[in-house]
Amino acid sequence: MKIATFNINGIKARLPAVLDWLDEAQPDVVLCQEIKSVDENFPREPFEDRGYNVETHGQKGFNGVAILSKRPLEDVRRGLPGDDSDEQARWIEATVMGDTQAVRVCGLYLPNGNPTPGPKYDYKLAWMDRLEARARELMADEIPALMAGDYNVIPQAEDAARPEVWTEDALFLPQTRAAFRRILNLGFTEAFRARTQAPGHYSFWDYQAGAWQRNNGIRIDHLLLTPAAADLMTDCQIDSAIRGREKPSDHVPVWIDLAA
């Protein structure tokens, strides 16, 4: 089962690029972020024509998450538990039925948190506390599970081409990285780093100042696996070349293969 996370940065602007990648990469499941569309306006037909089931949790103009799956989806839930007043569309989860077993997949778009200090950063840290609570529940469940998406977290210095320019940014502040580590320390495996330890691997390049051409990137798109899911992983890669294509997202897909 090939599962990918992809911040597409607007489905209307990126539809051709996303479809080209789907046709080429043939993932079974895609967890999308920043669809920037309400549910009723999401262009379902091109995905359904390719055999994907489509579940969205949208919001007008920004945020928004979705699951595309060639396999049946069960028990779809929208919204991260823990704050009934939170209206931002940043979380969707479902159970995917594999050939040999089911996998719980959770797609997330973690708040950016800038500028700091301020209410946006307070919201980010509070959201990460709620994420940790959900992560604890997933660890206690019987089936393999993963949490994948745009975490807006640079975990370590080697995850940025120029870490010195991020020291005051919400993505790299010590409190942010500590909150991320608390989740990992529950027993999660960060899929990409379990396979590749070298620096120089990124999943986001800004549109400004030739960041892609100079490989001035950061790695902020992550897949966190419970032990039962980590035991099934056979590969994890970043499709970095997608960033150099026509009208790309500023993020690229990151994917894993699970023997499920």
> Is the CA virtual torsion 259, 236, 195, 113 positive or negative?
negative
Can you tell me the distance from the alpha carbon of 4 to that of 18, in angstroms, rounded to the nearest whole number? 12
Please count the CA atoms within 13 angstroms of the CA of 38 that sit on its side-chain side: 3
Q: Please name the helix (run of DSSP H) or strand (run of DSSP E) that holds residue 6, with its range, or none.
A: strand 2-7
Tokens of 193: 């780093």
Cis status, amide bond into 253, omega within 30 of 0? no
Annotated ligand binding at 57? The verdict is no
Locate 104 and state its tokens: 């719980």
- Pull the structure tokens for residue 183: 């989740």
CA distance 131 to 16: 32
The answer to whether 250 is annotated as binding is yes
Residue 150 annotated in active site: yes
**Residue 87 to residue 236: CA distance in whole angstroms:** 32
159 is in an annotated binding site: no
> Which one, of 178, 193, 176, 173, lies nearest residue 233 by Cα?
193
149: alpha, beta or left? (left if phi > 0; alpha if psi -120 to 50): left
Residues pairing with 256 in the sheet:
3, 236
Contact 203, 159 (CB under 8 A): no
Tell whether 150 is in a known binding site. Answer: yes
Candidates 109, 121, 151, 202; catalytic one: 109
Residue 185, annotated as binding a ligand: no
Q: What number of other Cβ atoms are within 10 A of residue 184's Cβ?
A: 15
Annotated active-site residue in 28, 150, 159, 221 = 150
Q: Is 221 helix (H, G, I), strand (E, B) or coil?
A: strand
Annotated binding site: 7, 34, 150, 152, 250-251
Q: Which residues are annotated as a binding site for Mg(2+)?
A: 7, 34, 150, 152, 250-251
Residues marked active site are found at 109, 150, 251
